[in-house]
Chain A
């Protein structure tokens, strides 16, 4: 099949979103485009077509986890097909740094014990205990989601994203974040981006980082930096057995210029071959549960195991699944205005509660 793949410029999501938004607005939709499913589909309401037949013909519902089936439809119709998944509740660390401080990451099982560990790193080493980027609000929104799960559990978090937030849970989560931000992140947080933040782990200038496991791709590409020798990964404290879910999916616009070819393409995207070929290089895992993981490296094999055996797979906060694009934008406004230094926990909590309640 011939396809006209149009590359978008650098800048990734930002640029892609703008191009897709313009084309959908101009009634010139692409055949398909990459984006997040879940609540994020609401942004495109009125512009997405139905791919129930793709799911049915390929028996996707049988081989994907329940969450994938649920999150790729609105009002009972499928609009997208998943290609891969990242895990969001990760705590990555530089082994040499944590060992030199005498901290055992596997023993950190709550947000409170994380703060203790960060304090130990701060007093025992010169490294930044917890590297976090503040150059954009997205990483802080993302951290809030994971930290809330870690501190208050999946059901409190689900209540929050479903619009019934518990004020106390939101406020105490922000207070924990304030403790971390004020004491344990690097001073140059507001001028570094994701690459810069990852680099601090690679160079041994920082001990811990919370990120989606795309960060593992950066670690893998660094020289002399091997999984379980130089860097390690564990569940974010308090989220053991939980896989905070992320999907990379392809959405299907209505008025599709190449209807049957696009559906063939989506059938391929959700198939075993494409999911192996793509994910092993992107650093994500297949969304199918019947894929032979032997082509993947040891880290991703571990992730896939966590994915398949997870007791809960809550929808992520920033990356489209948990809240729609407008709520996400409001949350970014709140973080940008109230929680990027100085860190005002109670005002930020109010802002988040308003954002999900509306």
Chain B
């Protein structure tokens, strides 16, 4: 398959920066357009010159060129990250193995996985986990879909293209605190804009927040509104990187517009899809902020509880259950890792890391 992503499996020594710029023929807008910027930069050709001899040479051989010389540049950050990020994760994991509760001193003498078995026997946890997964998948898929649709429309040389792009991207610049209040008004049963619209088309008012079957989808809708613009921008960059010839070749072959996008253009957006999906999923895991602002607390409406809110509630709303909260945090961390991990491996194999 043609396209910029065909060089899978090649090492970092191969420069990836050169792209076939679509702007040569002038038909596809200006070259200074930020949408056409490539994100994967291009890898500088490495020189293999072993400096030989002594310890630094041995280290350089083992870990790569300039290992010793580059230490001052990366070691401080490495140590700080190691302590405050990875150290904290490990400590959190250890706490999750204890029975730490309340304000008495924590005891590390008997470590076990009791908190994890408790989680899987806690119906509140299972509901929250299910909601988290539904939120994650539905939000990501729908947002990508809407973003792709917007990107294709904006990419078709419309008037006021920049204006539209800004309008769609704008919600993302707002804080969750603001958007949650916005949506609370929009979701109001009596005079909210959404229900006004629903009544206008002749349907019954929907209890967006109060109905446990609906509320999670209402939250997904609000988050989609906020992040579709981001997906659009990523796709727009992807679309701009596709050579104009591919469109022309498809046309010459007699493909309809729909078929051209479906068979030729969209398959080339795989890279953009993956990058955007990962970022969106991480945003979905952070939906805590939105829910917290929506109800001014960490008890979301019935039917919209997610692991992040459940975790905080376990620690702060009754006797603090540090160990149980930590266990939920570790499960959430594993979920995030299961999303980020494959992405990192994918990028590494393609030589982008």
Contacts and interface: CB of A to CB of B under 8 A. Distances in A.
A24 B102 CA distance: 9
Given A136-B297, A191-B184, A340-B302, A329 B318 contact: yes
A340 B210 CA distance: 7
Interface string A128-169: 000000111100000000000000000000000000000000
B238 to A, nearest CB: 38
B197 to A, nearest CB: 16
Nearest to B300: A336
Interface stretch (A95-103, A181-189, A237-245): A181-189
A14 interface: yes
B165 interface: no
A44 interface: yes
B299 A137 contact: yes
Interface string A106-135: 000000000000000000000000000011
Main secondary structure of the interface of B (DSSP, over half): loop
Contacts of A333: 124
A333 B310 CA distance: 11
A337 B305 CA distance: 11
B102 A340 contact: no
B318 A328 contact: yes
B209 A191 contact: yes
A134 B210 contact: yes
Interface in B275-306: 295-299, 301-302
B103 A25 contact: yes
Interface stretch (B186-194, B221-229, B242-250): B186-194
B104 A46 contact: yes
Contacts of A14: 296-298, 316
A341 B184 CA distance: 18
A191 B317 contact: no
Interface string A323-340: 011101100110011001
Interface string A20-49: 010011000000000000000011111100
A188 B207 CA distance: 8
Contact of A191 (B103, B187, B320): B187
Nearest to A332: B299
Contacts of A47: 102-103
A191 B316 contact: no
Interface string B85-120: 000000000000000001110000000000000000
B315 interface: yes
A336 B299 contact: yes
Contact of A25 (B124, B192, B211, B320): B320
A325 B316 CA distance: 10
B319 interface: yes
Interface of B: 102-104, 124, 184, 187-192, 205, 207-212, 295-299, 301-302, 313, 315-320, 322
11 contacts: A43-B102, A46-B102, A46-B103, A135-B295, A136-B297, A191-B187, A191-B208, A324-B318, A325-B319, A329-B313, A340-B302
Pairs of residues from A and B, 8 with the lowest C-beta to C-beta distance, nearest first: A190-B210, A47-B103, A329-B318, A188-B189, A326-B318, A325-B318, A187-B189, A190-B209
